[in-house]
Every structure is written in structure tokens, then in C-alpha cells.
A and B are shown apart, each in its own frame.
Chain A
């Protein structure tokens, strides 16, 4: 089995061949092809969004995606929810000595396909190999820049009581797919990660009515709403019956004692929007394939205790805290 060795990272012919045969071949674009120390980019914009993220997911391959797809979507989505059009990405990989070449190729092809689907390019990159045991398999870092939409005017400080909260689709899919892919729980289900680039969805809805957006990744919907509540000072109230969730994800959570509100999503966004624009933003979202399950789930309240409240499906009221640590399967 062909593997990546320390020599592939040492700057010699093996590395140059790898870059040519794997990265340039698949990620091919005028910037990357120059193989300069930096990509030289002409910018028209006076306001840019700039973000970075690192990806260490295990397992590397899961139903609906892999670390490659995730590394592109993560950065594209951070730019998109910041009201920007993602355009240029960097990609750095750190790989463990002995890592399978076939896996690296599969991951690179995933990056290629996801870039195509999002309409972005990897314009600069880096590749390092470390000794066995120094890391687990592969870590990827991506960063990205994009021009901010002219009609984007998003800021936490714009959030007001009465603003509506929209989620673009079902919650918990990504975390559920990872749980199942880890296999030791021995459940079978067709749950796919929702890992997707959201920039085109955002393009279709961007307008001044959107006060703020965020993608609820680690920690899930509840954590993101807490972050927003803390930063804006206002309480947030949502209703369980309005939260979209796939039946299979719901059942898995019931069996294992997980709370879907705290489970990661990789292809969803939360938008805080003005009351008047909520209806039209929702219908625009629903027209897009990544927003067909979008719902208004709640609103911003005038009280300032910085708490997030959930009205449960059987009428009770629950406070949604920040999660402390990882959720684990329970019997109790």
C-alpha cells in the first residue's frame, strides 16, 4: 500500500512530484499553478471578510463527507454567514508518516469537488509530514477571504427585541452521522452529514433585514443561541415544536440520551432577522435546496438576563445552558 513518508514533506523531488501529481492536478487554478510563495490577488473590494479554521475530525471519512469536504465548507460557511462572497482559500495539511496515499488522494478530490460546488479556489497551500504518532492521521487548516456584500449590514449590535430567529434546516445531522460512523455503538441508519457550502444560499437571501448570522457547528444550535444572547444581552425564546429535525436523528438521540440542540451541524445557518423581513427571507431560503426545511424557530425578547428559553413540545419551559464538555451516550 502506497503511503506518505517523511520524505514527502522534506522539500525534495518526492514532495514536488506529490504537489504536481496530486494537488496541482486536482486543485488546478491559475493562482495555485504558479506555485509561488504567495498568491497575488487583485481585489476590487474595500471591505473583506477573512477567516481561518482547523479540521481534526475523526473518523476522516463519514456518510455525507470527509475531512476534505469539511475543511472547505467550514471556511466557506464562516465567510458566507459573515455576509461575504467566498473566493480565495488557502489549505495547509499536516500528515502523519505512514498515512495512506489513497486516502490523501480521496481527501484532495473531495476538496476539489467541494471547491467546484462552492465556486471557490485553493490559491495557496502548504504540506508537511510529521513523525508517526506526532498527530493522528491528518490535520487540515484552511483560511479564506471574500468580498462583503454591499447590502450586508450585519452586527450583533443591530439585534433588537422582536427580531425573528430562522434556522435553515434540520439539526444534529452531522454529529449523528459521525456518531454512527464511529461504529462502536452498533446502530445502523442512513444518516448523512449535512456538510455543505452555504454561500449560494446566503447570496439568495442577503439583505438589510438580516441583523446577524452564524453557523451552529460545535455545540449545536443551543450553544450558538447562547453566544448570541450573551453578546447582545437579550434573552432568546424558541419553541421545540418549530425546530426541524429528521426522525432518524431524533430517535438516535432518544436511544442514546443525546440532546440534538447541542449537536454539531455543518451545513446549516441561523439568521436573526427583522420581524418585517422574516416572511420573505424564509420563503427565499425555502426555494434553495439547502434551505427547504427552513423554519422560524423563535424570537429575541426584551428581557436582558442573557438566557435562552425553550418552550417544550408538551408546554413546559426549559432554560438552555451552554454545554459543558462532550455529550456521551447514556443508559440513564
Chain B
């Protein structure tokens, strides 16, 4: 695959592992945090962790949008499937997340839950099935938000009265700022998310890097991207610098994607948002703007407060912040595992706990 395989080259990877080893030798333990589910997956899939030196620790932060979606969102989504003419459309990622009593996967056989690759497919289904109300579960960070915004705009253009979005979208920089401030987490560098950055550009990271004196490298998803970015972070730490570098400059522009940003601004507004396991982070969530209120399911249906259960013993919050590892959780492995997940960190295949389960068992 062009522009992918070249960035998986074995010889260059081995060179990078060696350089990281050499240049990190005299450093004290450093924690580098990635905040992107796709980075978590890539690190696990390419077996990168095992080959890094002991003193360079890669922590997974709250970069998995599925993992940080509050339980009551799932409960409300499941409640929507019970309404006669409603079909819930979702990205596959959300299906296995446990709600209080069930999951969307368990509702799928009824035909009331459909998996799509694009929000646009849900909008087009609504266009061709006017007798049904289609609710799309809007989950994802800034990479996905513009695609959902474009689908909503399409629905407006086509004057659809039966297409809705239940927004659970969140934005990344406020969470990064929270983590940067947290002395427990002790982050010495951020691997910034590749495609979120393609949308938002470098501005947000400049603020974080300057204010909290933390090196930031925008990293692509291929093994060579991740390894080169780790090397760049190591070099910044050694030179006691803290700045923003763009390793993924073949895709990420410093200004980000202006059209996408404009569309997000048009279709969505910022609000406070609850992150599962972390709590409310101010101005970190997106809700449909007034102009697009007709497409917001929360304006059109009274989504009753479900009786959402509390996860006892689940320390996903600490794991998401990188303060604790899954090994510190007393539920991990015996009670909480991919077959019977308690918290979102285990459900999502890129959640830290799921990755640890696969990697350590």
C-alpha cells in the first residue's frame, strides 16, 4: 500500500529503536502520553512497546472516544431503539460498550441498530426511507466531527425531517490541558493525534507546550512515524526544550483544515462534557448549534434519565489518565476481561485494558 508500507520498513524501524535506546540512556524515567485510540492500537498492533527501553514509558490517555462516552449515553441510545419508528445508526466501535442492562450489540438482531462506515450513509438512508426516523450516534473527536457535520448539512440541504444526530462528540485539547496540569500523571511529552491535528492544526498544542512546558510531537500512525516521534520527544527532553514539532507534516498543516473547522463551527457549539471515568471537563464537548437544532435528537425527543448503574471497583478513570495501569485494577483479568467487560477501557478494542489483556496475559 503506497505511503503506508514505506513507513513500516523493518530496517529503518530497527535503526530508530537503536537510536531511541542510545539517546534515552541517561534519562530518568519519562512518561510519554498518546491521546489517540488509533495510536494505542498501532502501538499494540506493531508490537512497539516491547522494544522500547525500560525508562521510556508510553501511556495511553483518554484518546478513545468510545471509552470516554458516559454510560448514560449508551443507556439513552438503547432506549431510542425501543421507539417504534426509530432506527439507530452507529459506528461499529460503539456496539460492544456495556450500558447498565444491555449493549447496542445485543439490540442489533432486532434490526433497530445498524452499523455504518460513514454518517453520510445514515443521512442517505433517511433520505430513502422517509417512514423511519434515523438517529445517528455522533461519537468521535475532531477527525470525525466534520464528517458528521457534513452529513447534517446534507440533511438540511435535502430538507430531511427524519434524520437526527445524538451528539456525544468531544474535543481533545481541553482533556490534554487537564492532564498536563495533573502532577500525578507526570507527563514529560505528548504524542499528539495525527488526524485530529490534520483538522485542528498546531495552535492548541502551542498553548499546552508553552504553558506547561511539555514537549509535543504530532505523530503519524505508522510504526516509523511513532518511533520517529518518540525519538523527537526524547531529544526535546534531553535538550530541556518544550516545543511543538510536526512529524506528520505530509498530512498535517500548521493551520489545520480551515474548511473542516468552519463547518464544525457552523454546525456545532461547544459545551461542558462528562468524560467517563474522569468527570466533567469544561468546554470539551460539542452539541448541535441553534441553527441545526432541528437535527438534534435531544430537542425532538424527551430522552428520559435512565437508571444508570455505577461501576464499582472500576478504575478506568485513573487508567485513562495514565495514573494507574490495568494491572493495578482488582477487577482486571479475572472479573473484567474482553468477554465480560466492566468498563469502557476493556470494551473498546483499543482501550488500554483491552490492549494490556492481549499483550500481557
Does B115 interact with chain A (Cβ within 8 Å)?
yes
Residues of B within 8 A of A251 (CB): 1
Residues of B within 8 A of A328 (CB): 92-93, 95-96, 115
Asked if B45 contacts A312 (CB within 8 A), the reply is yes
Interface of chain B residues 48 through 99 with chain A (CB within 8 A): 48, 50-51, 64-66, 91-93, 95-96
- How far is A257 from B45 in the complex, measured between Cα atoms in Å? 11
Which chain A residue has the least Cβ–Cβ distance from B49? A316
Asked if B1 contacts A254 (CB within 8 A), the reply is yes
On chain B, the number of residues with a Cβ less than 8 Å from chain A's Cβ atoms is: 47
Does A231 interact with chain B (Cβ within 8 Å)?
no
Does A317 interact with chain B (Cβ within 8 Å)?
yes
Nearest CB of chain A from residue B200's CB, rounded to whole Å: 17
Asked if A314 contacts B8 (CB within 8 A), the reply is yes
Specify which of B51, B66, B91 is in contact with A317 (CB 8 Å cutoff): B51
Does B46 interact with chain A (Cβ within 8 Å)?
yes
Specify which of B50, B92, B224 is in contact with A329 (CB 8 Å cutoff): B92
Interface of chain A residues 169 through 194 with chain B (CB within 8 A): 184-187
- How far is A314 from B48 in the complex, measured between Cα atoms in Å? 9
One digit per residue, 1 when the CB lies within 8 angstroms of any chain A CB and 0 when it does not, for chain B 209-233 equals 0000000000000011000000000
Does B182 interact with chain A (Cβ within 8 Å)?
no
Size bin of chain A's contact surface: 20 to 34
Nearest CB of chain A from residue B249's CB, rounded to whole Å: 21
Interface of chain A residues 113 through 162 with chain B (CB within 8 A): none
Of A12-20, A294-302, A318-326, the one touching chain B: A318-326
Residues of B within 8 A of A38 (CB): none
Nearest CB of chain A from residue B213's CB, rounded to whole Å: 30
Does B279 interact with chain A (Cβ within 8 Å)?
no
Asked if A319 contacts B17 (CB within 8 A), the reply is no
- How far is A316 from B116 in the complex, measured between Cα atoms in Å? 32
Asked if B348 contacts A332 (CB within 8 A), the reply is yes
Does B299 interact with chain A (Cβ within 8 Å)?
no
Q: Jot down 23 A-B pairs with beta carbons below 8 A, ordered by A.
A: A184-B115, A185-B117, A186-B117, A247-B1, A250-B1, A251-B1, A255-B117, A256-B92, A257-B41, A312-B47, A314-B8, A314-B13, A315-B47, A316-B13, A317-B47, A318-B47, A319-B358, A321-B358, A329-B91, A330-B92, A330-B350, A332-B37, A332-B91
Supplied contacts A317-B51, A331-B117, 20 more A-B pairs, CB within 8 Å: A184-B115, A186-B117, A186-B118, A186-B121, A247-B1, A250-B1, A251-B1, A255-B117, A315-B13, A315-B47, A316-B223, A318-B45, A318-B47, A318-B359, A321-B358, A324-B339, A328-B92, A329-B117, A330-B92, A332-B41
| Chain A contacts to B: CB under 8 angstroms | 184-187, 241, 247, 250-251, 254-257, 259, 310-319, 321, 324-325, 328-332
